[in-house]
Amino acid sequence: MIKKEVLTGFLVGLIANAIGLYLATILLGNNNDFIIALKSAAAEGVLGKLISLGAILNLLAFFVFIKKKQDYRARGVLLATIIIAISTFLFKFI
């Protein structure tokens, strides 16, 4: 039961990050298509920064779960955020 709650929070964290990445790309991408904006961000070396901006929505999801006293789901969101941070770090230096 606990693993299911953590997995649910993890998936919510990934989805929130994807939505945040989409919003950051659309807002900062000079009205380009999403895929074109991602390719140009990767070429310019700022894709990691866009992914980090996308993780801001995880903060919202985390505090919603904390407010509703769903601690295990909040742990899943936190786990997703940590994995995204590590991936961004590795993406930057590899």
User: Residue 51: which domain range?
Assistant: 2-93
Q: Identify whether the C-beta of residue 87 lies closer than 8 Å to the C-beta of residue 21.
A: no
Q: How many domains does the chain have?
A: 1
The pLDDT value given to residue 80? 95
pLDDT surpasses 90 at 31 = no
Q: How far apart are the first and last CA of the chain?
A: 37
* Element housing 32 (H / E): none
pTM over 0.85: yes
More confident residue, 52 or 78: 78
With bands split at pLDDT 50, 70 and 90, how would you rate the model's confidence at 72? very high
Average pLDDT over residues 80-91: 90
With bands split at pLDDT 50, 70 and 90, how would you rate the model's confidence at 76? very high
